[in-house]
Amino acid sequence: MTAEGQGVGQWADAYASAREFVAQMTLEEKVNITRGYTDESNTCAGNTGSVPRLNWHGLCLMDAGNGVRATDMVSAWPSGLHVGASWDRNLTYERGLWMAREFRAKGVNIALGPNAGPLGRTPLGGRNWEGFSVDPYLSGRLNAETIVGMQDAGVMANLKHLIANEQETYRRPYFGVEAASSNIDDKTLHEYYLWPFMDGVRAGAASIMCSYNRINNTYGCENSKLMNGVLKGELGFQGFVMLDWNAQHTLDSANAGLDMLMPSGGSWGNNLTEAVRNGTVDEKRVADMATRILAAWYLVGQDKDFPTPGVGMKNLTEPHEPIDARDIRSKPVLMEGALAGHVLVKNEKQALPLREPKMVSVYGYDATVPATKNADTLFQLGYMSSREMGQAVLGREHHFDQAARGGTIVAGGRAGSNAPPYISDPLSAIQQRAKKDNTWVNWELSSSNPDVNGASQACLVFINAMATEGWDREGLHDDFSDALVKNVAAKCANTIVVIHAAGVRLVDQWIEHPNVTAVVIAHLPGQDSGKALVGLLWGEDNFSGKLPYTLARNESDYPVYAPCGRGRDNTTSPQCDYTEGVYLDYRAFDARNMTPRYEFGYGLSYTSFSYSDLVLSTGEGLCKSSSSGTNLWDVVATAQVTVRNSGAVAGEEVAQLYLGIPGAPPRQLRGFEKVKLAPGQDATARFELTRRDLSAWHVGMQTWVVQDGEYEVFVGASSRDIRLNGVIAVNDE
């Protein structure tokens, strides 16, 4: 049964306006705004139909997660994974706000992001870098902040991909082979994969994108249980559901809850009009589609002074007048975001910060920008449009190299990426710093076994780990890069390794080498990459990032490693059984008592922090009960701790709260707070726990339930570095 939008809460006024507008429309006009058209006059990823009679000009939809793609005069923002490593809600909101202002200036109505799926079930996932974290709580909080920021800027957010779109391998049907089916039990669906979508819906997401893959053997964009039953019914989603490009299979998707078709009309258009006339689709369903789309348009204020759709998205091969969308006020946010996602995981022998060294040597392909912008390097670095990419690799098998050896990476590949106005690369930034300090700089960027000048006080080795939409990664390290690190370390007593990584990158082949003194996981910082890194290496800024995933010692340590394939019998219906349930990443490591190399939430600083005075309090409403409706979000308990900067320099600490829910993984993230402290200064980190935070999904009752028992509370600097403990007791009374 289809679920009709109710127009409640923050959607009330938008629905009133949308219903009034839709009442004036013919059936053909309603159908027209639900389908896409190819518009050769712009580079929008999609364009909806318009209603000229009522002066409604349609919508421009465009990728994606770290800036406006396929255009100029915009910024390349830190990628989702980099933002996840910042653990910074305020900065995440600001990024969403300023990035969306660039979308708006280009006439983009709908930004195709942020990303709550994939979460990262397999560390080899090609699109993991587009999302914030493998943890659903951290992902949910940062997706919500991004959505609010984007929509405060007047641009519709599109939360994707619903749901369990956890691998690129067989993500779509190819040559007679069906897309992989993500087979998930109801409890795992709610407690893990749906969790960040709940946050997105609560934040007011204008739209949600259904996924290419199958879920329990039904394609995501035809799955009525998910779209009508769970999303629009259980979660009360009031916006519209659009499909991932060309992910529709039959007209039945309309009744299953799909509201918008992209990039072209497909089986809708005249067919949908005829389906209404012959009774296959109720006209109320089409009216609901149009109402949901227009309500989202009104919700973000696009009825007031919004640019002509696609006005700044002209074909770049033709003369046009680009809009300079880059507001000077966005610059601090770009730089702060670039700084905040770097994670210092090793720092021995006081290797960092560097203090006016007389000589440094720089090694590795990742230290500088690509030498040329030909098709291969552009594709590898993720700066090409999908159309260009298709032309570049058409007709030949293409394996994706784990290391983007053409130059430094500031983003992953394809739809989530965009073209930066410039790249501040590490070597250039180091040279600029060297000029200031009168430092001699050596560099050798191509050899895996370079010569090392014995007078070098620091040897900086730059490697990377690339990932892209369309391919899953073939591994979590590469032989060339590991050999480079080991060869330099054999010759240099102060070897500092910097890894730009689009996901998990293992380090155990060389991390314990006595000459590897410091390691930075630099993730994907966007256009200000080098400048931000140099500020951190030289101590002008302090590291504050924490890992948004677990860094294991071996590939086999992960509960799920490789993506699902066709199996031994070479089936044409690949099946991915999510038998691990919610036991992924640190939850699995904790449950198995397995020691990672660096745990979830881990990250070093140039200062130190102490924790004290854990205070827990519970509200009168906390008791064993089912949860539904508005009370699911009620704050039922609070925790607060005092965090003190006990070191000698200013820094930021991410205080983390984990909860031990009876019958669940030993610890689950349920709160984090980033505090900025001068030396000797302290602050109170306060965590609010909602009823949902304490609840487990009850399959039989089909609701969230707070169980009877003791809930252990763990507060500390990471999932393993627990500084304070407490207990919240729940009983029937």
Which positions are catalytic? 244
CA–CA distance from 64 to each of 71, 110, 207, 409 (Å)?
Answer: 12, 9, 14, 17
Half-sphere exposure of 6 (CA within 13 A, CB side): 10
Q: Which two tokens stand for residue 393?
A: 């690799």
Residue type, 652: E
CA torsion sign for 39, 100, 633, 730 is: positive
> C-alpha distances in angstroms, 452 versus 308, 311, 350, 540, 620?
57, 53, 21, 27, 67
Beta bridge partners of 625: 706
* b (16+ CB within 10 A) / e for 693-708: bbbbbbeeeebbbbbe
How far apart are alpha carbons 308 and 319 in whole angstroms?
18
> What's the CA gap between 707 and 725, in Å, rounded?
20
> What residues contact residue 572 under an 8 Å CB cut-off, 6+ apart?
176, 177, 178, 566
- Cα end-to-end span (Å), the chain: 39
**Angle value at C-alpha 300, between 298 and 305, nearest 5 degrees:** 80
DSSP summary character for residue 346: E
Quick check: 645 and 681 in contact, CB under 8 A? yes
> Using CA atoms, how far apart are residues 275 and 104, in angstroms rounded to an integer?
36
Is residue 213 within 8 A of residue 247, CB to CB? The reply is: no
- CA nearest 408: which of 530, 532, 545, 535? 530
DSSP secondary structure letters along 663-713: TS-S-EEEEEEEEEE-TT-EEEEEEEEEHHHH-EEETTTTEEEEPSEEEEE
Please report, as a single letter, which amino acid is at residue 372: T
Helix (H) or strand (E) holding 85: helix 80-86
- The pair phi, psi for residue 516, each rounded to 5°, is -85, 100
Is residue 182 a contact partner of residue 228, using CB atoms and an 8 Å limit? no
Q: 167: Cβ–Cβ under 8 A, 6 or more apart, which residues?
A: 118, 121, 122, 124, 125, 126, 180, 472, 563, 564, 576
Please, how many CA atoms are within 13 Å of residue 265, restricted to the half-sphere of its CB? 12
Q: What is the dihedral of CA 171, 83, 66, 560, to 10 degrees?
A: -10
Tokens of 135: 């943890």
Matching residue, tokens 């089986």: 267
Strands (DSSP E) found in 446-506: 458-465, 495-501
3-state secondary structure 626-656: EECHHHHHCEEEEEEEEEEECCCCCEEEEEE
For residue 652, what are the β-bridge partners? 676
List Cα–Cα distances, 466 to 448, 475, 555, in angstroms: 18, 10, 17
The helix (run of H) or strand (run of E) holding residue 48 is strand 46-48
